[in-house]
Amino acid sequence: MASTDKPTDPEYNKGAPPPPPPPSATVNCSVLAVTLRVLLFAAALTAVVVVVTSDQTKFIVQLGSYREAKFKHSPALVYFVVALSVAGLYSIITTLASLSVMWKPNLSTKFLLHFAFWDVLILGLVASATGTAGGVAYVGLKGNKHVGWVKICNNYDKFCHHLAGSLAVSLFASCVLVLLVWLSVYSLHGRIPK
Amino acid sequence: MASTDKPTDPEYNKGAPPPPPPPSATVNCSVLAVTLRVLLFAAALTAVVVVVTSDQTKFIVQLGSYREAKFKHSPALVYFVVALSVAGLYSIITTLASLSVMWKPNLSTKFLLHFAFWDVLILGLVASATGTAGGVAYVGLKGNKHVGWVKICNNYDKFCHHLAGSLAVSLFASCVLVLLVWLSVYSLHGRIPK
């Protein structure tokens, strides 16, 4: 109890926790997190809508008939739509949860932990879906002469433009998820006494 | 200064930080992290080696000639090999870094932050590469009759078995990276005073 005998010693408070971060800093981080989650929702919704509306029917001269390009024809694009839909739904839930704990710094520490855990999983899902759709879209764009897969983007321009746009938005959603995990980690780190 | 007048008051220490986690707990987490990073290295190396050794030459009856299946023929597989190589290299660097800070709890807090930041990026890279290669491998396995892409796995069995094995290992690497981010986040959360 040596320290209790020296209340005026400048070293006295060395072991005490630093003052908690000002509420404004916590709220700023929360506002940023909510903004990113709203962006994630917008990106996921856009990506899904753009792919779902990509279907195109065209007269193929070589075949002498009308042929359809549909996203449902490719399991990769179906996976992409499902994954981005899950991410969109997740962003709605977490936006509401973020808003509900914005003014409760104590509760928000627990939420930061849970958000970081789930954000990482959703990032894995969105990144893999972007990769899957991107890989197949690239074959559609360039073809692969080694295995005889013909390119289709010379015939189905609207379909491919929709795909490209959707992939760009999905890549943006992945970046937003990375930022969200970083923000959670950074916020948790900021609450550790130095 | 009322509290300093009552050193025996049980409420006295309420505002003080909780005792730091026992060194054994910190070391246990570090040992787990190092183990996971070694696993990540093993998985990345295996995935790369298995894909790089997948090349197969076979006599195709329909074409009446020998044809090769090479991973270099597919940009998706090249991206997969590059991404997993980066992950492997990253795992070596971070394993060494983890080992070097294992016995320095103060320094390790800063490292946990950096590890979590980078692990998230590498997770995005590995997950997207797994998706890209998986999407193209699925077309190789099943083909796509809607766009006239023929399946190739009925001819190149060794090539496809290698791809499947490599994709499974790469999925495992993604899971290891998720666990690593979780561990960093959990360790950071454990250092926040309740």
pLDDT (tens digit per residue) in A62-73: 777 888 889 999
Q: How many residues does chain B have?
A: 194
Least confident of A39-53, B55-69, B82-96, B113-127: B55-69
pLDDT at residue B17 greater than cutoff 90:
no
pLDDT at A14: 47
pLDDT at B3: 42
Nearest alpha-carbon partner for A184 in B44, B76, B182, B59? B182
Cα nearest neighbour of B116 on chain A: A185
- Contact in structure between A66 and A79 (CB atoms under 8 Å): no
Mean pLDDT within A120-142: 96
- Cβ separation A185–B184 shorter than 8 A: yes
Mean pLDDT within A102-124: 86
Between B145 and B103, where is the model more confident?
A: B145
Q: How many residues does chain A have?
A: 194
Residue with tokens 């190396």: B45
- Classify residue A59 by burial, with Cβ atoms within 10 Å: 0-12, 13-18, 19+: exposed
pLDDT at residue A119 greater than cutoff 70:
yes
Query: Which of B12, B81, B149, B150 best tests the A interface by mutation, with the highest count of A CBs <10 A?
Result: B149
pLDDT at A59: 82
Considering the entire predicted model, what is its pTM? Answer: 0.85
pLDDT at B24: 64
Distance CA A149, CA B139 (A): 10
On whether any CB of chain A is under 8 Å from the CB of B123, the answer is yes
Average pLDDT of the residues of chain B: 86
On whether any CB of chain B is under 8 Å from the CB of A103, the answer is no
CA A174 to each of CA A54, A177, B16, B39, B84: distance values in angstroms, whole numbers, following the listed order = 22, 5, 40, 25, 19
- Contact in structure between A164 and A157 (CB atoms under 8 Å): no
pLDDT at B191: 83
- Cβ separation A124–B15 shorter than 8 A: no
Query: Could you tell me where the beta strands, DSSP code E, fall in B20-144?
Result: 56-60, 65-69
- The residues in B 154-173 lying below 8 A from A, measured between CB atoms, are none
DSSP A61: T
- Contact in structure between A179 and A36 (CB atoms under 8 Å): yes
On whether any CB of chain A is under 8 Å from the CB of B51, the answer is no
Neighbours of A123 (CB within 10 A): 26
Least confident of A152-156, A161-165, A168-172, B13-17: B13-17
pLDDT at residue B33 greater than cutoff 70:
yes
Distance CA B175, CA B149 (A): 32
Number of Cα atoms under 13 Å in the Cβ half of residue A41: 13
Residue with tokens 């930080």: B17
- Rounded to 10 deg, the angle between the B23-52 and B157-190 helix axes is 160
Least CB-CB distance to A191: which of B125, B131, B192?
A: B192
- Cβ separation A150–B148 shorter than 8 A: yes
In sequence order, the 6+-apart residues with CB closer than 8 A to the CB of B183 are B29, B32, B33, B36
Between A13 and A191, where is the model more confident?
A: A191
pLDDT at residue A20 greater than cutoff 60:
no
pLDDT at B8: 42
- Contact in structure between B178 and B116 (CB atoms under 8 Å): no
Where does residue A192 fall: left (phi above 0), alpha (psi -120 to 50 degrees), or beta otherwise?
A: beta
Interface size A-B, in CB pairs within 8 Å, comes to 161
Nearest alpha-carbon partner for A147 in B127, B125, B140? B140
On whether any CB of chain B is under 8 Å from the CB of A94, the answer is no
Q: Which residues of B touch A18 (CB under 8 A)?
A: none
pLDDT at A25: 65
